[in-house]
Amino acid sequence: MSSPDGKRFIEITRNGRSERLVLDGLSKRGPCVAGRATTCWKAHSEGNETTLVIKDSWQYPEREEEETVQVNGKVDDIRDNVRRGPDVSQATNYQLTRSEVSSTTSDTAGRKGHSTTSAGRKRSSSRTGATPPPSKRTCSSSPSTSGHHHVLQNRVQRRVIIRDYRIPIYKVKSRLSLLSALESCIEGYESLHTRTGLLQGDISTGNLIVSDNEGNPSWPAFLIDLDLAIKEEREGPSGARGKIGMRAFMAIGLLLGKKHSFMHNLESFFWVLFWICIHYEAPDKNSRIVSEFEKWNFVTVKELANLKKGIVADEGDFLEIAKESFTSYYEPLIPWVNKLRKVVFPNGGRWKKEDKALYRKMYGYLCGSTY
């Protein structure tokens, strides 16, 4: 909405009271076509200049709800509010997917004896029969509701508003600040995991946030994007689609389809540090493209798992790869990255047993750094 003076704003309800947030400008918009269309706005509350961040994204309805956006008093979703509830079965090129055919068949068989329903089944990830293009954040398709009605896939606009507005970890001012920030993020993740039982679903360079103001009373570093977090002991489905997270930072075990563990997230911290050292010349410069690692975003998950195994398996090979690939600015960090490699990948291999002591080992090495 816009005010008479031209300012754009949104209205929210908090603790039963209506509040107006003034939009100061676009902060970030997700560039990918196949994703959640995440958009971040810089804003402030009317009458208070404290900077806020508004994060909008389009999520599957079965995801655990944050706050749902309403337009004209109605939930802002794709199926009803955006497309006005079209009947896709009337399209000239409409075809039943294999999962819909099998669901209809099973329903018909069930009705011969008694009435049955089968709502909430998941569709195949290849709904149209074509191979989807690779993307940095993998996703699969939404669920179908079987029966007589062919339901259009749906997403709902969800919103998160946070107060801490800081910089991503790759923009820190020094090598020492990078290691210190990573240590703080690991310590913060330990608190998240051990106190709440949550597993962050996307440890990545953009989700590790650092305070660039030494006088700031907030946390020096912290994690964001917790809407992708999942309960460690979850009994039912989380609503997540396939493998969630940026492929470059995903743990080898997750790429191979293993059950998500806090150990996988700790491994992701290693890959974040490794990636930053390769792609950033200095804090004030943009990232560079390195073809050897750019393909990580496009090969199959099994290929990527094998590529990562080859990097960490042998210490001599790892040191050679780091020497060739790290930027000159981050080359002095090779010994510290190698120390993390040895503790995250004991004997050059994946972990076999969960070990909460890994938290202390990792930020213990980082805490003792001198660069």
Phi, psi of 291 (to 5 degrees): -55, -40
Closest by Cα among 164, 251, 260, 269 to 209: 164
Mean pLDDT across 120-125: 32
- Give the mean pLDDT of the chain: 75
Domain range list for the chain: 9-84+156-160, 95-144, 167-367
Total number of residues shown for the chain: 371
CATH 1.10.510.10 correct for 167-367: yes
pLDDT at 8: 85
Q: Which of 22-36, 164-178, 286-300 has the highest mean pLDDT?
A: 286-300
Residue 117: pLDDT band (50, 70, 90) is very low
Closest by Cα among 208, 213, 159 to 182: 208
pLDDT at 330 over 90: yes
Residue 271: pLDDT band (50, 70, 90) is very high
Could you report the per-residue pLDDT of 44-76, keeping only the tens digit for each?
A: 888 888 888 888 888 777 666 555 665 556 666
Provide the b/e sequence for 168-177 (b: ≥16 CB within 10 Å): bbbbbeebeb
pLDDT at 22 over 60: yes
Compute the distance between CA of residue 266 and CA of residue 182 in angstroms, rounded to an integer: 11
pLDDT at 165 over 60: yes
pLDDT at 317: 97
pLDDT at 294 over 70: yes
Phi-psi region at 15: left, alpha or beta (left = phi > 0; alpha = psi -120 to 50): left
Compute the distance between CA of residue 39 and CA of residue 59 in angstroms, rounded to an integer: 12
pLDDT at 123 over 70: no
* Span of 32-46, 83-97, 142-156, 192-206 with lowest mean pLDDT: 142-156
pLDDT at 147 over 80: no
pLDDT at 268: 94
Compute the distance between CA of residue 175 and CA of residue 269 in angstroms, rounded to an integer: 16
Between 226 and 66, the more confident residue is 226
pLDDT at 343 over 70: yes
Phi, psi of 347 (to 5 degrees): 60, 25
